[in-house]
Structure formats: structure tokens, C-alpha cells
Amino acid sequence: MSASSDASDVIDVIDEPVAQRQSEAIDPGALGAFLREKGVSAGGDVVVQQFPGGASNLTYLARVGADAFVVRRAPPGARAKTAHDVVREARLMEALRPRYPLVPRVLATCEDDAVLGTQFYVMERLRGVILRRDAPLAIDPAQATRLCERFVDAFTALHHVDVTGPLGAFGKGQGYVVRQIEGWTERYAKARTDDVPGFDDVTAWLKEQLPGRRETMALVHNDFRFDNLVLDPDDDLRPIGVLDWEMATLGDPRMDVGASLAYWVQADDDGLSRATRRQPTHLPGMFTRRALWSRMAFGDEGDGGDMRFYEVYGVFRLAGILQQIYARFVAGATTNPAFAGFGELVRHLEKRAVHLMKNGGER
């Protein structure tokens, strides 16, 4: 199957949900009552399934007759409001959509934990292809390059959104880079378990290497990856939506790209990186990390030294995200078996960050 498959093949590549995980299941009856109350649904039996991706906020598909909606909620037992604030996520999406049409339409928001156990919101479902670990269709090198170009176009367009008006309330302005380094240092330390490194050399290096230029303030997604893009299978995989706005805020776009680089696994990376990749960036024709950086609007500033700082930051930030999830798994707050190996990934990321610090930016 190619990226130009006919309509009969589309059902085979659309991202589909599976049965709910028991420890994260939501009550269809309670959700149905909420949907009727908010006028999202006229009524009928609600069938709920869960999308298997996602390690932070959880995503479900709710079907009511011929209608389908997506539900986003915080995981059971989540306590860090800043890390799982789905109400903020919904408000940001509502403010951003008029200026960035790739944002899905929010249909209703619930701030009452009693309804489903945690706060949640309901949004439209965008039916399309999501490129997870392995592409669900054949992508030739020319198509892979075009996908990367479109990825950069959508990423750059976000960074050029006018952030005046309501969007101005979703960030703290200048000082973002320092706040990120200090914030992730603190969050990692609080979540650290006995079997992972302290990242002391990495955090010390980041604080010593802070960029001297004045920050550019833009809307940053903070998790911009192929598996958060919805692609149109009938239009050569053109992006029709961007998902997962949980960590979006006002900040420096270079930090946003650094965060994305941490997930961008190349064909010539080490074995563990290749084994744990979450998107098919290893395919022939895909950009390298260096090419992705250079394609962004700031890729011609300097000799690449900038890239090294932001790439190390991205690796450390990813380690912090994984460690927070791993700590919840170790404590028994989540039972998803996929999280059991996150400690090994954190140890691997520490080695990768140190390598980058000593050897300069990557290809």
C-alpha cells in the first residue's frame, strides 16, 4: 500500500482504538449523561474504547450511534496539576483554533472530578493516519522527504501564530529557557528513583551553556512529533490536525525544536534508540536531526553550537518526562506494563546527553 492508496484501503490505516485498560476505564453511562447535558449528543448507548498511545493524559473514543467523539482526561491518581491540566489544554485549544486551524474543535469541558474521576474534555474526532512506531502504509523516500517538509511547515506556522489577545495568558514571557532548565531539574529530582542517575553533570552543563540571545516568544507545542499529527490518507498524507496540547505554552521556539529532536530517531542511531523509537523517522528520505534543525527558520544562525544546547535540553527533558511516569509506575499509581522499562530508557538518555555534551551536535 502506498501513500496514495484508494478509498477502499483507508480503513486499514486509520488510527483505531482498542478496549479500555481496566485500571483507566471510564464509565460510559456517566459520560453519556454528560454528553446529553451539554448538547453534544442527543442520547443513546455510549460505547467507549481507548487509544493505546499516550503516556500522560489519556485519550478515548466515545461512539453514540453514528457519532464519534474523542475524550481527553488526566490519568487516575494524577496529582501534578501542571502536568495533567486538561482544562487548561482545552482552553488553550479554543483560543488557538481561530489562528491555527490544525487544532481540533473542543465540544465540551468538565471540571467536576466526580463525573469521570478526573477532569476531562470532549473534542471532535479527526479521522486520518497517525504515524506511530511503524507507518501503517508504504512511504517511499520522496514521500518521506515531503512529509518532513510538511512537518516543518506546520511546526513553523505554529511558531508564527500571533500570541496577542487570549493566547497571551498561556505563558510567563521572557525567562522561559531558564525556567525550563530549572523546572525540569527540580521535577526530575523529585521523581528520581534509586535505579536512575542524577543527571548532575547534564544540568550543570545546561546552566553553564545558557544562550545569550534574547528569547523569541512564540506558541510552543512542546511535544510536536509525527505521532501527534493526523494525516489525510486521501491527500498524500497532508496534515489535517495536531493533537496533544497538554504542554503547550508561550516560549522560545528553539526549545520546542530541541524537544522534538529528542524523539527523532535516525537509521544510524544506536540499537536501544532504534528499538524504542515512536515514529518512523528512520525511513529512507526522512530528515536527519541536523537537517530538521537547519530547515527551521533559525538553522542558519551560527555553526550549529546552538543546536547542541537545545538537543541536550531535549534529551534531558525527555528523561524527566519518562522518569515522572516511571516513578508513578514504581509507586503503583499506574499499572500499564509499557512503563516498566522506562528506567532503562532514562539511564540510556543520560548517556546520550553526556555524549552530545562532549562530542558536539549530531548529524
Q: Where are the beta strands (DSSP E) in 88-163?
A: 106-110, 120-124
Higher pLDDT, 256 or 78: 256
* C-alpha–C-alpha distance, residues 225 and 181, integer Å: 21
Q: Quick one: pLDDT at residue 82?
A: 53
The per-residue pLDDT for range 210-265, each reduced to its tens digit, is: 998 778 889 999 999 999 999 998 888 999 999 999 999 999 999 999 999 999 99
Smallest CA-to-CA distance from 343 within 193, 203, 223, 200 is with 193
The per-residue pLDDT for range 256-297, each reduced to its tens digit, is: 999 999 999 999 999 899 888 999 999 999 999 999 999 986
CATH of domain 141-359: 3.90.1200.10
Residue 302 has pLDDT above 60, yes or no: no
Higher pLDDT, 155 or 358: 155
Q: Quick one: pLDDT at residue 81?
A: 52
**131: its cell numbers:** 504515524
Cα-Cα end-to-end distance for the chain:
31
Residue 39 has pLDDT above 90, yes or no: yes
The per-residue pLDDT for range 82-127, each reduced to its tens digit, is: 557 899 999 999 999 999 999 999 999 999 999 999 999 999 999 8
Q: pLDDT band for 78, please (50, 70, 90 cuts).
A: low
Q: Quick one: pLDDT at residue 191?
A: 97
Average pLDDT over residues 310-336: 93
Higher pLDDT, 12 or 198: 198
Check for a shared fold between 11-124 and 141-359. Answer: no
What burial class does residue 142 get, using C-beta atoms within 10 Å of its C-beta: 0-12 exposed, 13-18 middle, 19+ buried? exposed
Phi, psi angles (nearest 5°) of residue 158: -60, -45
> What contacts 308, CB < 8 A, 6 or more positions away?
356, 357, 360, 361
Smallest CA-to-CA distance from 316 within 154, 180, 225, 175 is with 180
CATH of domain 11-124: 3.30.200.20
What is the pTM (predicted TM-score) of this model? 0.88
Q: Quick one: pLDDT at residue 12?
A: 47
Domain boundaries defined on the chain? 11-124, 141-359
